[in-house]
Structure 1
Amino acid sequence: MSETLDQRLDAIAAHPFRAKFHLRGRDRATAELRGLATMRWHARDLIARRLAPAAPPKDGRQTPYRGHPVFVAQHATATCCRNCLQRWHGIAKGHELSPAERAYVVDVICRWIEREMSAPPASG
């Protein structure tokens, strides 16, 4: 894949639904307080439990829209369910995510959080 992570994130952010997600309020404060290393650890844990199984429980409805920076990032990056993962990232449904696929998803989420933290807070 010649596309960089930032190019992939920019393409996803061009979609109107994905573009509306930003770290705001408590979610942004949590990311600032805990730091990127902790966000990465949380992302690994959440992906392992909620997205990595071959048939995740409640797939398509398992990711809240707020309540943790990783949840917001999952919606912003189309890593919220197996359908989105297949459509936007080319990772097929129906199999448990491999260690490389899990690492990729975590990298996408953490890069989005990193970009959000380096930008001025979004209004709204």
Structure 2
Amino acid sequence: MDDLFLRLSRSAFRQRFALGPKEFSYMNQKGFDVIKQHATDFIAQRLAPAEPRNDGKQTPMRGHPVFIAQHATATCCRGCLTKWHGIAAHQALSQQEQDYIVSVVMAWLEREIAKREPLAQR
């Protein structure tokens, strides 16, 4: 995953994304396990179908730490998944692919948290 984060670090667009105070506070309130469940649910609902509704626009740019992480890690739409992660479009995501995406999102969130104070409920 280090190679992925190195490639992402070279993208000015991907580097624009960071957790703001509201998202960081939300993560502290909810805890890491709840955020991971949210990521799992968002991926299953918004990315897993072969033809996701509003593909390319299904992930908001703000409002939840997972959404920000998805844009930062290019796991926000099927086009980005194909370009950055080699996951084919137009076919439903396997459970393994969904688990991979969640792990990428959570790894990015862990890196963001490490830049600040540790979560109280890890």
Q: What TM-score do the two structures reach when normalised by structure 2?
A: 0.92
Task: Structure 1: state its 5+ residue gaps.
Answer: none
Offset at 1:6? Answer: 2.6
Equivalent position to 1:80, from 73, 76, 92:
76
Amino acid at match of 1:99: Q
Q: Which residue pairs with 1:113 in the alignment?
A: 109
Q: Which residue pairs with 2:9 in the alignment?
A: 13
Amino acid at match of 1:93: A
For 1:1-124, list aligned pairs within 5 A: 5-120=1-116
Give the distance between the partners of 1:31 and 1:22, measured in 2 at CA: 13
How many residue pairs were aligned?
Answer: 117
Offset at 1:7? Answer: 2.5
Amino acid at match of 1:96: A
Q: What TM-score do the two structures reach when normalised by structure 1?
A: 0.90
Task: Structure 2: state its 5+ residue gaps.
Answer: 118-122
| RMSD of Structure 2 on Structure 1 (CA) | 1.1
Conserved 8 A contact 1:74-1:109:
yes
Deviation sequence 1:17-53 (CA, Å, 0-9, x none): 0001001121111112212211110000000000000
Percentage identity across aligned positions?
47
